[in-house]
Structures are given as structure tokens and as C-alpha cells.
Amino acid sequence: GFDMWDIPQTVRKGIIPPYLKMLDIQYRMNPDIREKVSRFAYLGKLKDAPGLAVQRREEAARPPFPEQALVRLNTSPYGAEGCRPEGGSRWNIVSAALAVGLAQEALSQSFSPVAIITPYREQARLLHRLIRDLGLREVLCGTVHRFQGGEAPYVVVDLVEGKRRRHKWTPFFADDREETASRLFTVALSRAQVKVAILGDWPL
């Protein structure tokens, strides 16, 4: 129905039709995370519920990464190569290990549960095995699609992508047909209540 009425195309142009009501008050995210989500997906119009900003900033003052609600971590110095079987889903053992390490650190600081979210099914399977083997019952993991509608105090977004020496493919964000990657990234970010750590090969 939205597509038949050209609503996505109209909103992308910055025009809000009179018959469309945007739900512009959010009750979940730290304001620093909300600001990014609002810019990506809500034309900058998303606002915080009364009192939420103070509460979330107090919670974000704790480690890990004190006073920071949104942290960007670069995997490229660790030689984190992305892998992809022919025609299969992508995975990256180094970024998976880093993601689980971040989750353990968050748990040690009383953030619970912790969610690890990734775009790719194969990476989610790898993360699940690591989490199971370590007995981390308070760590949830899965693809972005699985986490739609969910939330957690601390979220690790594992983008998986890593430069390969022998093979080339289009990174997640460059292959953005109809803004699919941007929408998925926005969903992943907006699952976090207090803090989100984003793992990725930033030069790539």
C-alpha cells in the first residue's frame, strides 16, 4: 500500500504528505544514538520522550567507553579479512572474536542482556557458536532481520566486511539498492537503549 501511494519516494524527497502521520517520539535510545537514527531515517524529526535523555546519559557514563553512547571500532589493523564461499553468506572470524570480547566486557560492567547484530546469516551462526561455547547466556545474537522490534541496553553491530587480498566484492554499504543497507544499518543501531559499538573495516 505504501508503495502504491508513492509514500517512500515522496518522503525521501523530504515531503510529508498530509495523510501521513510520522511517529516522532522515541522511548528507547540514548540521544546520541537517536540523533544518528533520526538523520538516517526520520528526516531529522525524531525526538526523545520527556526525561529519557537524562536517564540514558547517566547510564552511558559507565564503562566500557565511559560517556560514549556510540563507538566506532576499526577492525582493519587486526587483519580482519572477510570470507565468502562461492554464492554463500559472508563471515569474518576476527570481527566475530572482537564482537564477543566487547559483549563480555559489557556484561562485566552489568549491561545485560547484550545483543550482537550482523547483516549476514553465516556470521550470526559463527557468533552463536562462540557465544554457546563460552557459556554467555546473557548475550543474544542474530541478523538484523531477526532483531527488528527487539532492544538491549548494549548492542554490538558487527558489519563483517573486511578487505581481502585475493578477491573483491562490493561492501555492504556500496551495494545499497533502494537503500536496503541503510535501512538495515538504521534498524541495527536503533536496537540499542544505552550504548552501541560498531565494528567495521572503516578504510574499506
Q: What is the mean pLDDT of each run of 10 residues along the chain (204 residues)?
A: 85 82 92 93 90 95 96 89 77 94 96 96 96 96 92 96 66 64 89 96 84
Beta strands per DSSP E along 76-171: 114-118, 139-143, 152-158
Least Cα distance to 127 among 142, 144, 107 occurs for 142
Q: What is the pTM of this model?
A: 0.89
User: What's the pLDDT at 170?
Assistant: 64
Q: Encode pLDDT of 112-159 as tens digits.
A: 999 999 999 999 999 999 999 999 999 999 999 999 889 999 999 999
